[in-house]
Structure 1
C-alpha cells in the first residue's frame, strides 16, 4: 500500500471526532429519529438472517477429494478433478439432488471462481417428505417462505472446492433469538478523512478458517480520530461500495466486524467519509463455525473500544 497503516497523535481537532455538549431540542429529535431508523434497520437485518437458507442455516463445510466418495449429510458422490467439481447419484441414495444445473443421472460438473460461491441444487431429506413445508408451501398450500429442503452451496476457497449444506432446521437458525448490540450512540457517527488510491492494491488476508486466505482489493484509507489520536485503516471493496473490516478493544464483540459504507451522492469526493459505527455488524463466521470470511487487512485495528454496533452472538 502507498502508506503503512499507522496510529499517530493528532495535534489539533480533525474530522472524525464528535463534539460533546448539551443537545438542543432539534438535536434530540434528530437523535431519536436516528435511533428509530437504526432499530428498523436492525430488524430488517435479523429478518434476513432468519431466512430458511440464510447464514444461520449452514450445517457443514465439506471438502471433496480426488476420489469419488459420499459426504456426510449429502446425497450422491463427490470429487474434484482438474479444478472442476463433480457429483453423481449414489446407488444407496435416499434423497435426490435436483436443480437446473444438476444432470439427472450424472455426472454433474461445477466450476466456481476463486472466492465465489453458487447454489448447485436442493434435496429433501427422506424423513421430511410429505409435509406442506417440504414442498415450499404455506399452511394453505400457497407458495410460502418456509421450506424443509436443504440447499447445497459450492464454494472455492484458496483453490479448494468446498460444499456447505444450508438446512432450515440448523440449530443456529431454529435457536436464533436476535443479535445483541449496543444502543444507538451519535458519538460513533464519525466524519473521517479519506484518501482514495489511484489504482486498487491487491492484498492477501487471512480467513475465519485455518489454512485459507482471501485476496482483497484495497481502494483507499480513512483516518479515524479518537481521543486526539488518528488511526489509519484500509478500505476494501469497490469505490461504489467501500467496506471497512476492523478489530478493536471492546469486550463482548466478535474478533473483527465489518462496516459497509452507503455512499450518498458526492460523498467522499471532498476528502471526508461518514462512518456510522452504530451499523458495524458481525460477519457470518461469528454465527457459525462454517463461515470462511476474510480477516481485516493487517493493521486494521482500532486501539480503543468501539462500543457501537453488533456484539458477539451469544
Structure 2
C-alpha cells in the first residue's frame, strides 16, 4: 500500500489540483470539447467535409496521403501543402483555415483523421463538469491480476455506424467496496496506463448510460496493488464531443451499487443557470 494517505487536507488539495488539470484537459485551448470530427479514411481520394483536401489510405500498415492545393491553406508541420504529402500516424501537425487542426490516429485497423476547432460549440458553450463532493471513503486498494498473454477484450464504440474493436487485456482489479468483493477488467492503453470503463447503479440516471472511466497507472511489478479513487471517475470524451469513438463499458464491468463519486455530467451554457454544484474549474 502506498504511504500516501486517503484522507486529510493534503489529499483534498491533490484532488482540487487534479480537478483543475482535468478542466484544462477538457476545456482548454486544445481541450477534448474542441473535437468536431473523427473520420476513418477508407477510400482513395476521400474528402472530409470539415476540412479541405483529399485523403488516401493503403491500410494501417501502409501509407496515408493528403493532396491539396496551395490556395486551400493546408499545412503540415508548418509547411504549406501544394501537391501530395505522406502523413505519419501520431507524428504530424496538420493546420487548416479558421484555426482548425488535425491529428492522424488509428482506429480498428484504419487510419483516422481527428479535426479540432477552437470555435467548436461544445467547447465555447462548456461551463463546468458536475461532480459529487470529494469523499475519501470512495478510495480503495485493489489487487492487480495481470491477464494471460494474448488475452483481448472485445468492445463496441460510439460511432455511426457502430464499430466493434478489440483491445489487449491488461488484467483484472479485485477490491472490496461497501462490504462486497468486486472485479473490474482493464484495457491496456500503452505507456503503463490502464483504462477501465464501468457502469454502476447511477448509470442512466445521475450519470451517463454509457458509463464512466477510470484511468490508472499499471503496477511496476507483475503483481501488486493499484489505488482506485472513484472521486476521479471520468465522463467519457463522447460526453463533451459526440465525434469521439469512445468504447462502451464491458457488461462484466457493472458495479451493483450506486457509486456517488466522481464526475456526473457536463454543464453547457443553456444548463449553467440551473446547475447547483460545480463552477468552470471544478
| Structure 1 residue 220, shift from structure 2 partner | 1.9
Whether 1:106 and 2:60 are equivalent positions in the alignment is no
Work out whether residues 67 and 82 of structure 2, in 8 Å CA contact, stay in contact via their aligned partners in 1: yes
Structure (1/2) with the larger strand percentage: 2
Q: C-alpha distance in 1, partners of 2:219/2:154? A: 29
Whether 1:47 and 2:47 are equivalent positions in the alignment is no
Structure 1 residues 193-202 or 175-184, which shifts more?
A: 193-202
Work out whether residues 152 and 164 of structure 1, in 8 Å CA contact, stay in contact via their aligned partners in 2: yes
DSSP 3-state at the match of 2:64 = strand
Whether 1:122 and 2:99 are equivalent positions in the alignment is no
Whether 1:175 and 2:128 are equivalent positions in the alignment is no
Structure 1 residues 65-74 or 34-43, which shifts more?
A: 65-74
Instruction: State the TM-score, normalizing by the size of structure 2.
Output: 0.78
Deviation digits for residues 30-87 of structure 1, max 9, x if unmatched? 4333223211210111122223223111112334452425432312223334554332
Work out whether residues 182 and 309 of structure 1, in 8 Å CA contact, stay in contact via their aligned partners in 2: yes
Deviation digits for residues 260-313 of structure 1, max 9, x if unmatched? 2246877953xx432111111122112111001223344111111111111121
Work out whether residues 219 and 226 of structure 2, in 8 Å CA contact, stay in contact via their aligned partners in 1: no
What is the aligned length?
A: 257
DSSP 3-state at the match of 1:165 = strand
Deviation digits for residues 196-217 of structure 1, max 9, x if unmatched? 3353522221112243233222
Aligned partner (choices 68, 91, 95) of residue 89 of structure 1: 68
DSSP 3-state at the match of 1:299 = helix
Q: Which residue of 2 aligns with 1:256?
A: 211
> Can you give the 5+ residue segments of structure 1 that lack an aligned partner in the other structure?
1-14, 16-26, 126-148
DSSP 3-state at the match of 1:179 = strand
Deviation digits for residues 109-167 of structure 1, max 9, x if unmatched? 2354xxxx554410233xxxxxxxxxxxxxxxxxxxxxxx2112223322333322101
Q: Which residue of 2 aligns with 1:309?
A: 262
* Structure 1 segment 187-202 matched on structure 2, within 5 A: 187-197=137-147, 199=149, 201-202=151-152
Structure-2 change in CA distance of 1:166 and 1:190 (3 Å): same
Structure-2 change in CA distance of 1:183 and 1:102 (3 Å): same
Structure-2 change in CA distance of 1:104 and 1:240 (3 Å): closer
> Can you give the 5+ residue segments of structure 2 that lack an aligned partner in the other structure?
268-282
Q: C-alpha distance in 1, partners of 2:71/2:32? A: 26
Aligned partner (choices 40, 59, 66) of residue 36 of structure 2: 59
Instruction: State the TM-score, normalizing by the size of structure 1.
Output: 0.71
Work out whether residues 174 and 181 of structure 2, in 8 Å CA contact, stay in contact via their aligned partners in 1: yes
Work out whether residues 102 and 120 of structure 1, in 8 Å CA contact, stay in contact via their aligned partners in 2: no
Whether 1:215 and 2:150 are equivalent positions in the alignment is no
Aligned partner (choices 40, 45, 51) of residue 74 of structure 1: 51
Whether 1:36 and 2:13 are equivalent positions in the alignment is yes
Could you say which structure has the larger radius of gyration? 1
